[in-house]
Amino acid sequence: MKKKFVTNLILLLSLNILIKPFWIFGIDRTVQNVVGAGEYGLYFSLFNFSLLLNILLDFGITNFNNREISRHPKVLPGYFSNIVGLKIFLAVIFGIVSFLVAMIIGYEKVEMRLLLPLLFNQFLASFIMYLRSNISGLQMFKTDSFLSVLDRVVLIILCAILLWTGIGGGEFRIEWFIYAQTLAYLFAVIVAFVIVLGKARFIKPRLSISFMKRILRKSYPFALLTILMSIYYRVDSVMLERMLSDGAVQAGIYAQAFRILDAFTMFAFLFASLLLPMFSRMIKKGEPVEELSVFSFMLLIIPVLIISVSLVFYRLEFMETLYNEHTNESSKILAVLMIAHIFVSVTYISGTLLTAGGHLSALNITAVSGLVLNVVLNIFLIPKFQALGSAVASMITQILVVGIQSILVFKLFKFGNYQKVLFKLILFTLFTIVLTWGSTQFDFSWLLRIFAVMLVSIIIAMLSGLIRIRILTSLFQPGEEKPAL
């Protein structure tokens, strides 16, 4: 199973490394620099608002479907026919509720003009994720890997034309950015739908009330978990924009740093997308998951630590390279969010394992605790520290969540004693911090200094046994896999 995980992870990472960083740093960042922090900040706040109620589009169906298809592939035709109709019904509910909430919190004509197409985009994005859950549930990881970047490839092409060809008379409007997303999502939906339809062989969309009740009853724990995590991860920018007189600008400043967090968290998300169907199938068959859990954790946490520490020390240089304004303020936010990044990445492993094991009640209690803490901290910290206060609130929340989830994993799955590995990991983190600080004392290119730090840190991780080259190389040789522990 480790070999299957690593080979598919390499393909998934390769595609996403080629496409998504260019999207984030080449297109999305350029859009913010062109339209300004205020206009982009309003878009960013509205985009995150559209995500807060996103659960009404999905209601946990995607994760539930992924888990069920990976365990029982033969149910695909029946589920697909019914869930398509259910997704359309939920989209109508989502649109009505989102519009009413937007009116209640005071969004006016300007905000509504941007919000409505963003809501439609959320429906398309949610439908893509549902379609992909069928594909990954069938263990078609290579196909799913290509679909994971398809919408971004189309979007990069469309935005590049709008930004750099002068087709709009030299002016770029934020509305074009939103409409380009719509076209890209539509294309991806069509492609993914055709692939799933080929596997289901036949589909007759219907809306069975009895099926709807049964699916929603089974999926609501997934839905509750998704909405709780979405709120405490995305509510910051909405609160900033609503609570402060210069809220749109503060949301834009926060977006500059959050974009970096979002970019690097993508890799942890890719780990989770592969691990969920694998964990689900292994647990269903009664196979032990400890070895794959620890193996994937170590494979993720080492680069996460190196990247996070590097960007904490080189935060200002990094932001000045990317942005035209507010770089000093956003660099402080970046440092805090990079610390949060370490804990966010861990939750993608622990949370995925707990989800695959069906421990949704424990996860939901943890998420409620995180949500309450995050909102309370934002209420107190935003008026005094503005965007930086939101970053601190996010960091503290993630530390709490990963602490609780880690305890749950060791207790529920009866993992062994890893004190020695934890001690090595702490020493490695301290070494990386000292090494990175030492590199700041030199006076040559900061990019070369970061590269040197990363190279030395990886070598130390290998020498200390945190990364085992023998295990990795054995996965690409014929024959049985060797144990990782």
Please tell me the predicted confidence (pLDDT) of residue 208.
67
- The helix, strand and coil proportions of the chain, stated in percent and rounded to the nearest 5, come to 85, 0, 15
Among 41-45, 88-92, 235-239, 476-480, which stretch is predicted with the lowest mean pLDDT?
Answer: 476-480
pLDDT band at 3 (very low <50, low <70, confident <90, very high): low
pLDDT for residue 339 is more than 90: yes
Please tell me the predicted confidence (pLDDT) of residue 120.
93
CA–CA gap between residue 386 and residue 107 (Å, rounded) = 21
CA–CA gap between residue 202 and residue 197 (Å, rounded) = 7
Q: What is the pLDDT of residues 117-127, one digit of tens each?
A: 999 999 998 88
pLDDT for residue 272 is more than 70: yes
End-to-end alpha-carbon separation of the chain, Å? 15
pLDDT (average), residues 259-275: 80
Among 227-231, 356-360, 441-445, 462-466, which stretch is predicted with the lowest mean pLDDT?
Answer: 227-231
Q: What is the pLDDT of residues 418-428, one digit of tens each?
A: 778 888 899 99
CA–CA gap between residue 109 and residue 368 (Å, rounded) = 33
CA–CA gap between residue 205 and residue 160 (Å, rounded) = 37
Amino acid letter, 192: A
Q: What is the pLDDT of residues 346-367, one digit of tens each?
A: 888 888 888 888 787 888 888 8
CB 84 within 8 A of CB 245: no
Buried/exposed 338-351: b ≥16 CB within 10 Å, e otherwise: bbbbbbbbbbbbbb
Please tell me the predicted confidence (pLDDT) of residue 264.
85
Q: What percent of the chain has pLDDT over 70?
A: 87
CB 354 within 8 A of CB 221: no
C-alpha dist (Å) from residue 221 to 216, 218, 235, 269, 364: 9, 7, 21, 20, 8
pLDDT for residue 205 is more than 70: no
CB 281 within 8 A of CB 70: yes
Q: What is the pLDDT of residues 135-150, one digit of tens each?
A: 877 777 777 778 878 8
pLDDT band at 304 (very low <50, low <70, confident <90, very high): very high
